[in-house]
């Protein structure tokens, strides 16, 4: 705090600083002109411009000026507060000023980066600066509150990202709850036969990690479960998890699978989701032999006992562990954690959305994930590439960029398809000896040893045709095409349109956000980009953080990425969570709301509106007043805006602050 009383125009003494940000700002904004303009504004005791305000000399200049010029308020016009608000708050504190006597003006993202008209942009910066200078007068000295951090962590999603994050955290001695929606962990990686570019067996590297999760003393594994509700705040989250009934006691079942043999359905006849529908399963099933936990489950949609209650329950009879319980009900369990790692993954593009490629119409058209199962030794065909009609393909076409790099579907590059297409080309050729064609737009191989993998495929005699496939048809124009699928494509290297007859078409589908990504992000109160992937706090400098403190993201839920990147990111997310937990406490932003009891009429308007359940009525009956738990309050301002008698005030967003800012923008 300043403690000085000398005033300028009777107003608090403001120091105004404008940053060049190299040429990021100064290239568009006439910073010297803004500085001169600010000097003349009421209350401004000193105004400066500097090349990099965030640099050490820049910060030191502020701290020194505060002392020398007895500054009582600080305004810095620079980049986004997301980036450097904390930097300048600390600089203010070093100068002896309460850090909340500070207002930041974002003139980079809000002006220099988005405007080309230099004069108008400079005028806008003056307007914004004037508004901040007008508002900062009304700021109050505030203190941050410290609260302890719960050392336990929740990891959501049991794919390779969630598995790796959970193991890293558990190995560091933290208690981890890993929640997975499906009946087994493993995610997409568990579907693969081999991984690119090394062609090592996916199961061989994944299943040891899966069983490590299961047996780790610090990990509580909840599969077939979903997070229902998240309350609280960084360091102190209260999470409700819905645990769906498996109708089999997880603690009793040892995964002997005798019940599956004993099921009254002699043959498997229901769609096997794990095998992408290429195989069949019974009502009692296990996704795959290495499923973790190795526990069977009963599908209530198809099980006779669960549907009608009239089955002889041969499955339960044969179980000597007495693990079956058809009365099992869904239950909600609550856990408390300090940090959350979201690794909820992605889904693949629905190939049926591209009618030209005939998926779902021609049995010979497959998605890449289906082929992953076909070439997999533990897949429905035990690794034999056999078509739906029972034949073996002699020629196979792999169509790249299905649902990627396409204005009609998804504009983004899904990053992994080129490489997995090469992998599948290699595996199909290896398994069948067929002629394999890759139809690609650009071959993208930017990872370690990826280009070399492409070179290897070139030398294996796989054909590469550059061009986006226009359609797949069974309409034969020559006898050779009769009874086969014809891929029509413009070969942009050869410069003509080709028709290539094949027996099997593989659609390399792109990666998309999960269908429930929006619901999930709302549940965890984080953001999404326009395409629907979870939004990181900063694309370069905070790639696993989100705008919600204590919630971290890793893997395909953030953007399409391959296994090495996913694992690296999962490790980073775990490290960020550890850093948070091991600090032992968090400082809460003081931009919270509060209610003066003598002003509250007890109308209860605010109570249901608070998204953090931070408001309750103190005492019942006549004199009940609303009170805000400032630890739960996250400063969203909903209650302050809604309070009909203006009795809720939010720090840093009082009416005086907001209206003076508006007036500052509007009055010249």
Residue 607 CB, nearest distance to another protein (Å)? Answer: 4
Residue 150 and residue 337 in contact, taking contact as beta carbons nearer than 8 Å? yes
Single out the segment in contact with another protein by CB under 8 A; choices: 53-61, 351-359, 546-554, 640-648.
640-648
Q: Cα(251)–Cα(249) distance, rounded to whole angstroms?
A: 5
Single out the segment in contact with another protein by CB under 8 A; choices: 231-239, 250-258, 497-505, 602-610.
602-610
607 binds another protein (CB under 8 A): yes
Residue 595 and residue 626 in contact, taking contact as beta carbons nearer than 8 Å? yes
For residue 441, CA distances in Å to 10, 28, 205, 450 come to: 68, 38, 32, 17
Residue 604 CB, nearest distance to another protein (Å)? Answer: 4
Closer residue to another protein (CB): 194 or 634: 634
Q: Cα(239)–Cα(306) distance, rounded to whole angstroms?
A: 30
Single out the segment in contact with another protein by CB under 8 A; choices: 213-221, 401-409, 461-469, 605-613.
605-613
Q: Cα(257)–Cα(268) distance, rounded to whole angstroms?
A: 14
Q: What angle do CA 584, 97, 69 make, to 5 degrees?
A: 155
How is residue 279 written in tokens? 């195989």
Residues 45-64 that bind another protein (CB under 8 A): none
Binding mask 544-583 for another protein (x = CB under 8 A): ----------------------------------------
Q: What angle do CA 258, 262, 264 make, to 5 degrees?
A: 150
Q: Which of 147, 528, 641, 665 binds another protein (CB under 8 A)?
A: 641
Residue 552 and residue 524 in contact, taking contact as beta carbons nearer than 8 Å? no
611 binds another protein (CB under 8 A): no
621 binds another protein (CB under 8 A): yes
666 binds another protein (CB under 8 A): no
Binding mask 473-512 for another protein (x = CB under 8 A): ----------------------------------------
Number of residues binding to another protein, judged by CB under 8 A: 25
Closer residue to another protein (CB): 280 or 604: 604
How many other β-carbons are positioned within 10 Å of the β-carbon of residue 375?
A: 23
Residue 605 CB, nearest distance to another protein (Å)? Answer: 5
Beta strands in 70-209 (DSSP E): 73-78, 102-106, 145-148, 153-156, 176-179, 194-195, 200-201
Phi, psi of 237 (to 5 degrees): -95, 140
**Selection from 578, 518, 575, 513 nearest residue 543 by Cα:** 575
Closer residue to another protein (CB): 245 or 602: 602
Q: Are strands 73-78 and 44-50 parallel, antiparallel or unpaired?
A: unpaired
Q: Cα(659)–Cα(234) distance, rounded to whole angstroms?
A: 31
Q: Cα(465)–Cα(489) distance, rounded to whole angstroms?
A: 9
Q: Which of 647, 650, 651, 660 binds another protein (CB under 8 A)?
A: 647
Quickly list H helices, 253-358. 258-262, 304-308, 314-318
- DSSP category for residue 508: E
Q: Which of 350, 431, 605, 630 binds another protein (CB under 8 A)?
A: 605
Q: Cα(213)–Cα(223) distance, rounded to whole angstroms?
A: 12
Residue 284 and residue 260 in contact, taking contact as beta carbons nearer than 8 Å? yes
617 binds another protein (CB under 8 A): yes
Closer residue to another protein (CB): 69 or 604: 604
Single out the segment in contact with another protein by CB under 8 A; choices: 265-273, 416-424, 469-477, 641-649.
641-649
Polymer length in residues for the chain? 668
Single out the segment in contact with another protein by CB under 8 A; choices: 180-188, 300-308, 509-517, 597-605.
597-605
For residue 96, CA distances in Å to 57, 62, 86, 91, 652 come to: 17, 11, 15, 9, 19
Q: Which of 172, 205, 318, 609 binds another protein (CB under 8 A)?
A: 609
Q: Which of 603, 611, 613, 619 binds another protein (CB under 8 A)?
A: 603
Q: Which of 116, 389, 598, 668 binds another protein (CB under 8 A)?
A: 598
Closer residue to another protein (CB): 577 or 600: 600
Single out the segment in contact with another protein by CB under 8 A; choices: 98-106, 218-226, 258-266, 634-642.
634-642
Find out whether the peptide bond into 293 is cis, omega within 30 degrees of 0: yes
Closer residue to another protein (CB): 23 or 616: 616
Residue 229 CB, nearest distance to another protein (Å)? Answer: 17
Residue 645 CB, nearest distance to another protein (Å)? Answer: 4
Closer residue to another protein (CB): 149 or 632: 632
How is residue 563 written in tokens? 């296994």
Closer residue to another protein (CB): 537 or 649: 649
Q: Which of 171, 602, 630, 665 binds another protein (CB under 8 A)?
A: 602
Q: Cα(396)–Cα(456) distance, rounded to whole angstroms?
A: 19
Residue 599 CB, nearest distance to another protein (Å)? Answer: 6
Closer residue to another protein (CB): 480 or 519: 519
Closer residue to another protein (CB): 54 or 641: 641
584 binds another protein (CB under 8 A): no
| Residues at the contact surface with another protein, assessed by CB under 8 A | 598-605, 607-609, 617, 621-622, 638, 641-647, 649, 655, 659
């Amino acid at each position: 705090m300043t403690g000085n009383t000398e005033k300028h125009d009777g107003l608090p003494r403001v120091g105004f600083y404008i940053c060049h940000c190299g040429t990021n700002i100064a290239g568009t904004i006439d910073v010297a002109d803004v500085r001169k303009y600010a000097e003349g504004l009421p209350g401004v005791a000193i105004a400066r411009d500097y090349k990099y305000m965030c640099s050490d000399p820049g910060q030191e200049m502020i701290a020194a000026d505060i002392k020398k010029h007895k500054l009582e308020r600080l305004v810095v016009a620079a980049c986004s507060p997301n980036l450097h608000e904390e930097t300048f708050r600390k600089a203010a504190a070093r100068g002896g000023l309460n850090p909340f006597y500070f207002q930041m003006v974002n003139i980079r993202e809000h002006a220099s980066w988005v405007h080309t008209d230099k004069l108008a942009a400079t005028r806008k910066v003056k307007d914004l600066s004037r508004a901040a200078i007008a508002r900062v007068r009304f700021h109050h000295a505030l203190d941050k509150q410290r609260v302890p951090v719960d050392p336990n962590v929740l990891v959501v999603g049991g794919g390779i990202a969630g598995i790796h994050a959970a193991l890293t955290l558990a190995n560091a001695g933290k208690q981890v709850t890993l929640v997975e929606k499906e009946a087994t962990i493993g995610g997409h990686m568990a579907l693969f036969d081999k991984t690119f570019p090394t062609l090592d067996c996916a199961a061989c590297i994944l299943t040891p990690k899966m069983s490590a999760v299961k047996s780790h003393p610090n990990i509580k594994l909840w599969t077939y479960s979903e997070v229902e509700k998240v309350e609280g705040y960084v360091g102190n989250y209260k999470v409700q998890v819905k645990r769906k009934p498996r109708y089999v006691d997880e603690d009793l079942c040892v995964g002997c699978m005798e019940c599956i043999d004993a099921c009254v359905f002699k043959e498997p006849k229901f769609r096997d989701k794990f095998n992408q529908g290429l195989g069949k399963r019974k009502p009692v099933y296990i996704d795959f032999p290495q499923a973790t936990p190795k526990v069977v489950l009963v599908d209530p949609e198809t099980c006779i006992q669960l549907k009608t209650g009239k089955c002889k329950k041969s499955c339960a009879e044969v179980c000597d562990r007495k693990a079956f319980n058809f009365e099992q009900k869904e239950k909600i369990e609550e856990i408390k954690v300090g940090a959350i790692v979201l690794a909820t993954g992605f889904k693949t593009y629905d190939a049926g959305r591209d009618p030209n490629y005939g998926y779902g119409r021609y049995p010979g058209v497959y998605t890449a994930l289906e082929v992953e199962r076909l070439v997999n030794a533990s897949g429905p065909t035990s690794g034999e590439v056999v078509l739906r009609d029972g034949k073996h393909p002699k020629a196979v076409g792999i169509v790249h960029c299905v649902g990627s790099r396409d204005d009609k579907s998804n504009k983004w590059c899904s990053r992994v398809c080129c490489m997995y297409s090469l992998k599948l080309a290699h595996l199909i050729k290896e398994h069948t000896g067929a002629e394999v064609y890759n139809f690609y737009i650009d071959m993208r191989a930017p990872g370690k040893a990826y280009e070399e993998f492409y070179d290897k495929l070139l030398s294996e005699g796989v054909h590469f045709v550059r061009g986006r496939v226009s359609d797949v048809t069974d309409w034969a124009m020559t006898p050779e095409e009769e009874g086969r699928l014809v891929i029509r494509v413009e070969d942009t290297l050869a410069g003509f349109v080709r028709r290539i007859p094949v027996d099997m078409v593989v659609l390399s589908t792109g990666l998309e956000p999960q269908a429930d990504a929006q619901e999930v992000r709302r549940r965890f109160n984080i953001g999404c980009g326009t395409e629907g992937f979870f939004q990181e706090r900063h694309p370069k400098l905070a790639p696993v953080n989100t705008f919600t403190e204590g919630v971290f993201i890793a893997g395909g839920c953030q953007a399409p990425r391959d296994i090495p990147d996913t694992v690296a990111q999962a490790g980073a997310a775990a490290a960020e969570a550890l850093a948070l937990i091991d600090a032992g406490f968090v400082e809460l932003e003081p931009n919270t709301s509060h209610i003066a009891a003598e002003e509250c009429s007890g109308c209860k308007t605010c109570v249901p509106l608070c998204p953090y359940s931070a408001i309750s009525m103190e005492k019942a009956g006549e004199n009940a007043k609303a009170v805000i738990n400032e630890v739960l309050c996250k400063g969203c301002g909903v209650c302050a805006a809604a309070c009909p008698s203006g009795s809720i005030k939010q720090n840093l967003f009082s009416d005086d602050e907001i209206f003076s800012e508006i007036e500052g923008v509007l009055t010249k």
